[in-house]
Amino acid sequence: MTIEEVKVQIKQVKSIKQRETSDEDGLENYYAGDDAWDKFAELCKGIRTKSTNELLNLLNNDIKLVNVIEYREMENSLFWTKSYISALNNLRPIDCVNDDKLLKRLKECLLRMD
């Protein structure tokens, strides 16, 4: 990896961190709550794709989150989980799982998807 490539990666990480901290009107502020999430996740369970185990590893073994993502995205679940999503302020779902605020943003995003 060249120095220029490293500089580009550092800029991307700084940009992501800035978006994480500067979003005062993110979806996490409208999170429907854990009860609504738990009920929705229960309705979504039962769908399994060839990526279920990898999704579990990427998403901290959160089976409810995996259930909802697989229900919403089916065979595209793994691709979606690694993609930058505009509704998440251009974060990837995998970027959201280790931060409570961002996890609420991800859950609210999934609750609102058609």
Q: How many whole angstroms separate alpha carbon 52 and alpha carbon 22?
A: 33
* Spatial contact of 87 and 27, defined as CB atoms under 8 Å apart: yes
Q: What is the DSSP string of 57-90?
A: HHTTT-HHHHHHHHHHHGGGHHHHHTS-BGGGTS
Neighbours of 79 (CB within 10 A): 10
Task: Compute the C-alpha angle 97/86/76, nearest 5°.
Answer: 70
pLDDT value at residue 14: 61
Cβ–Cβ under 8 Å, residues 74 and 83: no
Q: Per residue of the chain (114 residues), what is the pLDDT tens digit?
A: 677 776 677 767 666 655 555 556 789 999 999 999 999 999 999 889 899 999 999 999 999 999 999 999 999 999 999 999 999 999 999 999 999 999 999 999 999 997
- pLDDT of 18: 57
Q: What pLDDT is attached to residue 15?
A: 64
- How many domains does the chain contain in total? 1
> Which domain, by its residues, includes 84?
3-112
